[in-house]
Structure 1
């Protein structure tokens, strides 16, 4: 069954380097914190480097909200772009695949092979608006089931950035015996208020699109989905994740002063194009589910407090933040480092804002190598 109006990877598309494991069949579903069960659950992942006979060299890398499992490797069938951390994963690189077995998992609730709203339920219908609300802990439960299926009892290191960092942190809090080393990049123990405000606006933009139809748009003719709202939501977040200095470097200067109309037109066209690109590769319902999960993300949920949760971490931990990050500001990384025994916060100077770990991976490289050991 082919779905319309979605950028989701669908069965029948080239798998590329993806591999798939059904961690929870329909008859043994994944119990969720919202009180519902989800099944069947299939998790998509990619891996590089050989797994050692004793399985001691496995590294888990958890991507941000809209990124997929293709962190390394070329573009090609099944992969629209080269790996988003291509410069950091591979032979001789920071995650040296001559030494380590690197695993990158597509988020539960996402749209690049793992079960999400554009997936089919046990009866062959797309989940769409019926897809349940997820917590970070639900996603990590699914990831842990995948690790069990792969025979990986303990990770040499778990690395996460942005909301992927929240999942990495949850691994270290709820399963400290399975995480030896931890690297948290542009992450936080809880969603900060300004970031929550951005997510609320993005959610409204998608849901108020007249073509959203309450999330039931997969059966409609192609072109009848919430493209405008989804694209505007992405354009808004893309603009906010940058900084004034970054945008000045790209679109400002003399051109901004001497030809303001032309400069404004170029900037507007660029920002709107980023939204259109996301629509082409991502699913609007997955965007909603994952953004709502990010809104609820606090490691203190269901525990005595954030401090109590952070105190459970036993992994050797490094925390990296960026001076100009408005989504997860440096204070968030300092909170993490203060709460995790022996952790160190590294706040890096850059004008790239939250996108520092994507646009300038060389900034993260020394701390990734330090974490790998």
Structure 2
């Protein structure tokens, strides 16, 4: 009887494992993966990001914070609280803190607002011509994969890319003081090391960890994978440091939210990921409320940089809905705006502007109180309706446009 029970338990355990494996495979296959190019300037990785409603170039830093220079903060209308504090990396001076309204990297990473350091520009930032720095805290809700061979950064949710193998993983933590700290194996011993993508030295051993090596060439493993040709230096630091040369030996993924990182040799499937496409052209659909950005606005709606007086570009009046995902009245009005766009399809062009993403448009048109709708006529400039939260309000203004 006992043997029979044991057999049943074993069968149930096997079934549970099979179900778990199947679920995990399905989950991994449902992972969305966005591949973005990055610029390599003297070994520094520079990516495009929209911080505070304005897009710019930012330096990716495994030890840094989300930070903008004083000049970039002024462009975005971000006000410093004047409270300077320490920065994890030497050579960066914090002059204050601010909140950036709107944060986007690609189409995957998004936040309504993000806490940001305001820093003084320095020789490195000026040389690279960037607006600031992006630390890995910005990617807490996505898995970041770096491929130096393809010069790409992948953003995936909710899991790692399928080509990164589960067996090739280990622990990672994001320290407020030190940045990314990964578990490595040196001469068979687990060691916590700072991952520093600015550091040219491949491996800098702390005084404590140097005792494991005793002057010999150490064997080093990252996530179970042996890493070769690492020259060793020593320093009187609290942590061992692994430099950016590891990125030249394989693909690395950081799943900050789950406290895991993955590392494996190149050409293990990542080459199947298509490179990011160039910026897509906005396609305008008649009878719809079309989403537009700053560039399209200037070229096709009204060039506010050339003229202080509103001049509608084109042969039809326009209706521009300034909105945000967190604005309840805005979201309730969306179907109404779509209905009106269809009704006035051949007479009026309807647009919408996300105020979190388009910070310059938000500032130019003072769209801090939303819903805001701007009605641009062909002859009489433009008018605005704050709190345009009913069909009657909007349609009454449209009728005035058509007179």
Same fold per superposition (TM over 0.5) = no
Please state which structure has a larger fraction of its residues in helix. Answer: 1
Q: Which has the larger radius of gyration?
A: 2
TM-score, length basis structure 1: 0.23
Please state which structure has a larger fraction of its residues in strand. Answer: 2
TM-score, length basis structure 2: 0.22
